[in-house]
Amino acid sequence: MDRITEAYLNDFQKEYSYPENIEKPKLFEYFVNHCIVSRLHSERFDVEDVSVGGSGDMAFDGAAIIVNNNLVFSKEEVDDLKNRLHGLDVKFVFIQSKTSSKFDSAEIGSFIFGVESFFKHGLPKHINESIKALRDLTDYIYKQSIDFVSNPSCLMYYVTNGRWENDSNLVHRIDAGIETLKKTELFESSKIEFIPIDADNLKIIYKELKNKVDKQINFEKHTIIPQIDGVSEAYIGILPCDEYLKLICSSDGSLLKSLFYDNVRDFQGDNPVNREVSETLRNNAIRNSFVLLNNGVTIVAKSIQKTGSVFTIRDFQIVNGCQTSHILYDKKASLDNSIYLPIKLIVTNDEEVTNRIIKATNRQTEVKTEAFLSLQPFQKALEDFYNSFTSEEDKEYRLYYERRSKQYENQILNKSKVVSITYQIKCFVSMFLDMPHSTHRYYGELLKAEEDKIFVDTHSFYPYYISCLTCHLWENAIRSDTINQRYKKFRYHILMVIRILLKGVDKSPLAKSKKSNSYYVDIHKVLKDPSQVAILFAQAISIIDTVERSDTYRKYTPADLTRLKNFSTRLIQSAIEYKSKVINDE
Question: d(Cα 45, Cα 552) in Å, to the nearest integer?
Answer: 33
Average pLDDT of the residues of the chain: 89
pLDDT surpasses 80 at 577: yes
Task: Check if the beta carbon of residue 245 is closer than 8 Å to that of residue 335.
Answer: yes
Q: Which residues contact 519 (CB under 8 A, 6 or more apart)?
A: 503, 508, 509
Q: What angle do CA 450, 455, 461 make, to 5 degrees?
A: 135
Question: d(Cα 78, Cα 68) in Å, to the nearest integer?
Answer: 9
DSSP state of 408: T
pLDDT surpasses 80 at 147: yes
Average pLDDT of the residues in 482-497: 94
Average pLDDT of the residues in 271-276: 70
Amino acid at 389: F
Question: d(Cα 543, Cα 497) in Å, to the nearest integer?
Answer: 8
pLDDT of 246: 92
Question: Cα 430 to chain center, whole Å?
Answer: 20
pLDDT surpasses 80 at 364: no
pLDDT band at residue 263 using 50, 70 and 90 as cut-offs: very low
Strand arrangement of the beta sheet that strand 62-67 belongs to: 70-72, 62-67, 90-97, 153-159, 192-197
pLDDT surpasses 70 at 509: yes
pLDDT band at residue 271 using 50, 70 and 90 as cut-offs: low
pLDDT surpasses 80 at 368: no
Kindly report, residue by residue over 159-212, the tens digit of the pLDDT: 999 999 999 999 999 999 999 999 999 999 999 999 999 999 999 889 888 877
Kindly report, residue by residue over 100-113, the tens digit of the pLDDT: 989 999 999 999 99
pLDDT of 85: 79
pLDDT surpasses 70 at 243: yes
pLDDT of 583: 65
Output the pTM of the full model: 0.79
Over the Cα atoms of the chain, what is R_g?
A: 25
pLDDT of 342: 95
pLDDT surpasses 80 at 387: yes
Average pLDDT of the residues in 243-259: 86
Task: Check if the beta carbon of residue 265 is closer than 8 Å to that of residue 371.
Answer: yes
Kindly report, residue by residue over 192-206, the tens digit of the pLDDT: 999 999 999 999 889
pLDDT of 351: 81
Average pLDDT of the residues in 114-134: 88
**Which is more confidently placed, 360 or 367?**
360
Percent of all residues in the chain with a pLDDT value above 70, rounded to a whole number: 94
Q: Which residues contact 317 (CB under 8 A, 6 or more apart)?
A: 259, 260, 261, 299, 300, 301
Question: d(Cα 352, Cα 364) in Å, to the nearest integer?
Answer: 20
pLDDT of 101: 87
Kindly report, residue by residue over 458-476, the tens digit of the pLDDT: 999 999 999 999 999 999 9
Percent of all residues in the chain with a pLDDT value above 90, rounded to a whole number: 62
Kindly report, residue by residue over 53-103, the tens digit of the pLDDT: 878 778 899 999 999 989 999 999 999 999 887 899 999 999 999 999 899
pLDDT of 586: 57
pLDDT surpasses 70 at 369: no
pLDDT band at residue 262 using 50, 70 and 90 as cut-offs: very low
3-210 sits in which CATH class? alpha beta
Helix (H, G, I), strand (E, B) or coil at 530: helix
Question: d(Cα 244, Cα 402) in Å, to the nearest integer?
Answer: 29
Question: d(Cα 490, Cα 498) in Å, to the nearest integer?
Answer: 12
Task: Check if the beta carbon of residue 165 is closer than 8 Å to that of residue 127.
Answer: no
Q: Which residues contact 562 (CB under 8 A, 6 or more apart)?
A: 436, 437, 439, 440, 489, 490, 492, 493
Task: Check if the beta carbon of residue 63 is closer than 8 Å to that of residue 138.
Answer: no
Q: What are phi and psi of 462, to 5 degrees?
A: -60, -45
Amino acid at 398: R
**Which is more confidently placed, 280 or 52?**
52
pLDDT of 347: 95
pLDDT of 74: 93
Report domain extents, the chain.
Answer: 3-210, 214-361, 373-585
